[in-house]
Structure 1
């Protein structure tokens, strides 16, 4: 699909809905009744907002997290404080829930396998394994003819030098695991940067990505239900500061054909993964007379760039995810107004509550300490007229 071209005509209907392709996970499973318990791995702000969405639907949440100060613990009495690799604690946790999901993708693979053998795990362990390893993710996307930046696996400094010779400079050297918000990566601008960057980044292998001269980044949050129904929210245009998402603006300033194609690529990904739940897909928009798209990364969970849905969609991304993992029909993702989501990083949280007007919806995460680079909350501001 690389090189796909677009001609913008009429703007497509904002509700992206696709015919269902039933999940292989559907084996006479009935929707969970109200009062059932959703097990959530991870106690950060995403887990907190998932638990709040579940409560609105009459579902309970049990949060599993090793940090006793996790903000998600504030919104549900059901919690387990234990390490993610504590298999005994995981089994006890599974015995108390009806389905398991997660708020972050770095759950150990062995832990995911333990849970999947005891209770439905949604999204499944395969999606988790692919998305938590950059090499596996890029290989998967390329196998589905989804465009990604040229890349090479790097196991040694000699392989890095060879990769630079093939891909050229500038380029970005990244860890294959545990990278987020700019962590675990170095930009290489000169051949002399290679040795220092290779020594600083661990563990190996690493991955070298060719530099992509993109115009902007957009993202699509897409959901797939247990019955195979796929629905996507409108694309958001993202701006980062210091490698951390600053704002997501909807609608994105891209041709309608670009947005429609981004939604279709997201649909291809969730179907290929046999996915159940909400997935975030980040795209680079490559400029030109006929813009093209390239996938930057996928995230098998609710996504920071989808927080805007809380303010202007009948069904936001958190409720959509809970609906999917509980086996309920997906909700309507249509957008009812233009909106800008802004992350509140560190001391920026201090603008709440005094600096807000009637068109602004605040969400604070209940974190005790505001530190530089720490996401403390976000605001959704409705854009009128």
Structure 2
């Protein structure tokens, strides 16, 4: 295929976080170089990349020079201006496209998209005023959760609506006039699927990860997930359908709930590598990061067979202080992100514990 980038090509990565770091590390064995674009100095990704541009996402001169230095552009997180990606896409291929980014940046847009694609979701309503919130709560009921439509992650930008919750106070605390009210659903498990789609339209879904959150932050991902074969197939088929309808080139992470009857509800999507896919670095034939590189450069996608049952544990804040013990633990694979300061709630690294029999 003429669109396949040859070894030696440069991948531009917008964002300097740990996902960019691990993508750059996966690109190197395939012969690709990476150029990071980030406003952050000494970012985790810049520590392992060939080149870094430190500039604002609105800096037109820096963006133009960045685009001229790379062969393809991708991004490692989605909270970047769509206008920035649009501008770059006029100069060099951007994968995934800005249309994919736009869907993933807005909670109502992504839920509408999931529903329109035939997937199931929890009940939800778009809320832009206190009056609309009151109407939505009357319709959906309590308990529920009110979330900002943009820029929320790891539990930030949301408030629970319980029987005793004062709606006016809840609305004021959100500090946004663009929100979504989501009804609580009874679910047995939280799962996710990472799906890759390449330039030629081929799609591959990784095995389902079963996720456990603590204080709204992912704590562990376990593979294989303790779900039925039918639920596994439904989850992977759903993720593939979303990727295909988006005309995605790259990775799409789909977070889902498993209901008591084995059904699957789509919660959120992210068009990039995902925390719940870190298990693939040591437990899968192809890691999510290598697959990401393969997809955006046009290489054939790799196989996703499970090599070892794996439990990924996030190292949050001071958890990273255990690095020495973790490095000595048999069958534990330590991955640190190069962040200088451990703060509460900050992801500092992860460890993959593989089961070798």
TM, length-normalised to structure 1: 0.91
The alpha-carbon deviation at position 383 of structure 1 amounts to 2.1
What pairs up with 1:259-298 in 2 under 5 angstroms?
259-287=232-260, 290-298=261-269
Corresponding residue for residue 233 of structure 1:
206
Alignment pair present for 1:199 and 2:172: yes
The alpha-carbon deviation at position 139 of structure 1 amounts to 1.0
Corresponding residue for residue 354 of structure 2:
382
Alignment pair present for 1:318 and 2:289: yes
Alignment pair present for 1:330 and 2:301: yes
What pairs up with 1:1-385 in 2 under 5 angstroms?
29-190=2-163, 192-287=165-260, 290-355=261-326, 356-385=328-357
The alpha-carbon deviation at position 29 of structure 1 amounts to 4.1
RMSD: 1.1
User: Does the CA contact (< 8 Å) of 2:12 and 2:37 recur in 1?
Assistant: yes
How far apart, in 1, do the equivalents of 2:173 and 2:330 lie?
47
The alpha-carbon deviation at position 377 of structure 1 amounts to 0.2
How far apart, in 2, do the equivalents of 1:155 and 1:34 lie?
49
How far apart, in 1, do the equivalents of 2:179 and 2:271 lie?
21
The alpha-carbon deviation at position 85 of structure 1 amounts to 1.5
Alpha carbons of 1:40 and 1:274: their partners in 2 closer, same or farther (altered >3 Å)? same
The alpha-carbon deviation at position 192 of structure 1 amounts to 3.9
CA deviation vs aligned residue, 1:109-152 (integer Å, no higher than 9, x gap): 11010011111000111110000000111111111121111111
Between 1:82-91 and 1:304-313, the stretch displaced more is: 82-91
How far apart, in 2, do the equivalents of 1:64 and 1:275 lie?
22
SS of 1:257's partner is: helix
User: Does the CA contact (< 8 Å) of 2:193 and 2:206 recur in 1?
Assistant: yes
How far apart, in 1, do the equivalents of 2:153 and 2:177 lie?
17
Bigger relative CO (Cα 8 Å, ≥ 6 apart): 1
CA deviation vs aligned residue, 1:221-271 (integer Å, no higher than 9, x gap): 110011111011110000001110000000100111000110000000000
How far apart, in 1, do the equivalents of 2:50 and 2:248 lie?
29
Extract unaligned runs of 5+ from structure 1: 1-27
SS of 1:198's partner is: helix
How far apart, in 2, do the equivalents of 1:341 and 1:178 lie?
25
How far apart, in 2, do the equivalents of 1:297 and 1:65 lie?
25
How far apart, in 2, do the equivalents of 1:109 and 1:366 lie?
28
How far apart, in 2, do the equivalents of 1:272 and 1:191 lie?
41
How far apart, in 2, do the equivalents of 1:201 and 1:29 lie?
49
The alpha-carbon deviation at position 201 of structure 1 amounts to 0.9
Corresponding residue for residue 21 of structure 1:
none
Between 1:136-145 and 1:183-192, the stretch displaced more is: 183-192
The alpha-carbon deviation at position 313 of structure 1 amounts to 1.5
How far apart, in 1, do the equivalents of 2:175 and 2:229 lie?
41
How far apart, in 1, do the equivalents of 2:166 and 2:115 lie?
28
User: Does the CA contact (< 8 Å) of 2:33 and 2:50 recur in 1?
Assistant: no
How far apart, in 2, do the equivalents of 1:63 and 1:195 lie?
43
The alpha-carbon deviation at position 69 of structure 1 amounts to 2.4
How far apart, in 2, do the equivalents of 1:301 and 1:350 lie?
28
Q: Would you identify which runs of 4 or more consecutive aligned residues in structure 1 move more than 6 Å?
A: none
The alpha-carbon deviation at position 195 of structure 1 amounts to 1.1
How far apart, in 2, do the equivalents of 1:211 and 1:166 lie?
13
How far apart, in 2, do the equivalents of 1:254 and 1:34 lie?
40
SS of 1:51's partner is: helix
